[in-house]
Amino acid sequence: MKMLKVELIRSGIDRPYKQKRTLHALGLRKLHRVVILPDNPQVRGMIEKVKHLVKVEEIDGN
């Protein structure tokens, strides 16, 4: 199963409320924190909303 490595590279400070909530839902609360998430349409949609704040890499889930 493919996984996504998502890193917060820009702060959520002074961003719209929905973008802050999306970062929180992804598990990104502090700068340069990395989370591993499943590659599915729901996660991809959330990443699309905050793509200017995060760095995403595809990794093999094995």
Q: Please say if the pLDDT value at position 61 is more than 90.
A: no
Question: Residue 6: which domain range?
Answer: 2-56
Instruction: Indicate which CATH number applies to the domain containing 18.
Output: 3.30.1390.20
Instruction: Assess if residue 31 is contained within a domain.
Output: yes
62 falls within a domain: no
Is residue 50 in some structural domain? yes
SS3 30: coil
pLDDT tens, residue by residue, 3-54: 999 999 999 999 999 999 999 999 999 999 999 999 999 999 999 999 999 9
The pLDDT of residue 1 is 83
With contact defined as beta carbons under 8 Å apart, do 49 and 17 qualify?
A: no
Q: Say if residue 41 is exposed, middle or buried (CB neighbours under 10 Å; 0-12, 13-18, 19+).
A: exposed
What is the count of structural domains for the chain? 1
Note the pLDDT of residue 39.
Answer: 96
Residue 6 within a domain:
yes
Note the pLDDT of residue 62: 66
**Residue 61 resides in a domain:** no
